[in-house]
Chains A and B, each alone.
Chain A
Amino acid sequence: MNFLLALARDRAALAIEPGQEYLLSCRLAGVANQHKLASVEALVARLRMGRADALAQDTVDALTTNETSFFRDIHPYDALATQILPDLMARRRAARQLTIWCAACSSGQEPYSVAMTIRERVPELLTWRLRIIATDVSQAMVDRTRAGVFTQAEVNRGLPARMLTKYLSQQGTEWQVRPEVRGMIEVQRTNLVEPQPMTGCDLVLLRNVLIYFDAAGKRRVLDRVTRALAPDGLLMVGVSETLFDDRYDFRVVGRTYVYSPKGTAAAPALRGASQEKP
């Protein structure tokens, strides 16, 4: 088990508390089965031998929690449309270029919700050089995001019916995001604790992923994200998360917290935002 805890920590930076190991066995039983291994013990033995890369990747995939939904918590998307994106655009008007990074995109609902929000509510951005980069540590999630195929159960949650019929097309019991929206997203596999290829991001969505890291892991991830962020870029975390990091200021936009590196131009640009907690 210690070996698995270490793998979880090193490959996915997941902090699994002592006493939660049963979680690992449950999730890994499926992986063992899929690789025709007799048990979780056999799987661990194989992993210990090293060089079992597909197996290691599947193990990491099984250890990560991929819970997500379209327009999760809804308010952050209102904040994006009404204030965050307009403010960023005001500051980028000369270059007409904007980069948004969905770090930890899971199966893709988040980046596609961002893309649909832009199409519906901030269409001017479509005439800019807009990049929406979506990344996740799990290869399975990266593949799913790229495919943009969702089950009926997935489109039943959070996705406005009007957007469902406008931006997805039905294929049997599944729904696929239409090519014009899929084409807006660049998908890559990256591990947030390792150096990130992107730089100069104007907005990073780092939602509902920090909760899985211990304090040291959180710090490492924030280092990586800070380095990828433009000096006056903005950072959003999940609605139930608070960033306790003295390198960041925060503002409240509607019901959403938006963070910016301390002492940058970003903070005052969020007009009408308050420093008060609601």
Chain B
Amino acid sequence: MRALVIDDSKSMRLIVKRQLVTLGFDVVEAIHGRDGLAKLEADATIAVALVDWNMPEMNGLEFVQAVRADPRYQNLPMVMVTTEAESERVVQALDAGASEYVMKPFTPDDLRSKLELLALVP
């Protein structure tokens, strides 16, 4: 299964990528929301997106909104992975169309549990 990891921090992308690879995913990376949209457009096999919130060009919330507005991606699971930890932020992300929410810092088990909720890992 293919996952799109969108984060402006290279080291963060690496951390998320490592965990996803352990869970059996292969990973496409993007450096901000706009790059994420391009990667999504270019690869129809992407099955889930893991999205940072704070990024230049297009932030994670805008990315989630843009993706959900596109009829082709109505059912694409999207997980916010962010340092934003306010209850209001979680609500905002869910309202925008995020499927799940992981707060940084997180452990591999945390990420796995959220992907399990979305039935993306066995």
Contacts and interface: CB of A to CB of B under 8 A. Distances in A.
Interface string B83-102: 00111001101100010111
Interface in A156-204: 156-158, 160-162, 164-165, 169-170, 173
B87 A170 contact: yes
Contacts of B93: 161
Contacts of B38: none
B103 A160 contact: no
A152 B84 CA distance: 11
A74 interface: yes
Interface in B41-98: 85-87, 90-91, 93-94, 98
B106 A156 contact: yes
B17 to A, nearest CB: 19
Interface residues of A, number: 16
B117 A160 contact: yes
Nearest to B89: A165
A156 B110 contact: yes
A57 interface: no
Which one of B93, B98, B101 has the greatest number of beta carbons of chain A within 10 Å?
B101
Given A152-B103, A156-B103, A156-B106, A161 B90 contact: yes
Contacts of B94: 161-162, 165
A117 interface: no
Contact of A165 (B90, B102, B107, B116): B90
B85 A152 contact: yes
Contacts of B103: 152, 156
Which one of B90, B100, B113 has the greatest number of beta carbons of chain A within 10 Å?
B113
A83 interface: no
A69 interface: yes
A71 interface: yes
Interface string A58-69: 000000000001
Interface string A203-217: 000000000000000
A200 to B, nearest CB: 34
B91 A165 contact: yes
B23 to A, nearest CB: 15
Nearest to A161: B101
A267 to B, nearest CB: 28
Contacts of B107: 153, 156-157
Return the 8 tightest CB-CB contacts between A and B, nearest first: A161-B101, A170-B87, A158-B113, A156-B110, A157-B110, A157-B113, A165-B91, A165-B90
Interface of B: 85-87, 90-91, 93-94, 98, 100-103, 106-107, 109-110, 113, 116-117
